[in-house]
Amino acid sequence: MVDAPAAYGSAEDIAARVEARPAAGADNVPLYPQPIDADPMPAFTSIAEALRLARR
């Protein structure tokens, strides 16, 4: 039950879960990198690169 809404693992693992959400009917996919007291930008950048969304 806890694993279903959460995506974890490598950036590629998380990107695969993010890409599956719209196919399952999701309108948006929120991302909350953990731990929340750390700088989230490296995590967002890694996921964006895995999704091919990063700026070049």
Element (H, E) at 18: helix 11-23
Residue type, 42: P
50 Cβ contact list (under 8 Å, min separation 6): 10, 11, 12, 14, 15
45 Cβ contact list (under 8 Å, min separation 6): 54
pLDDT in tens, the chain (56 residues): 556 778 888 999 989 988 888 888 888 888 888 877 789 899 889 999 999 886 65
pTM of the model: 0.72
Closest CA to 18 of 40, 42, 47, 39: 47
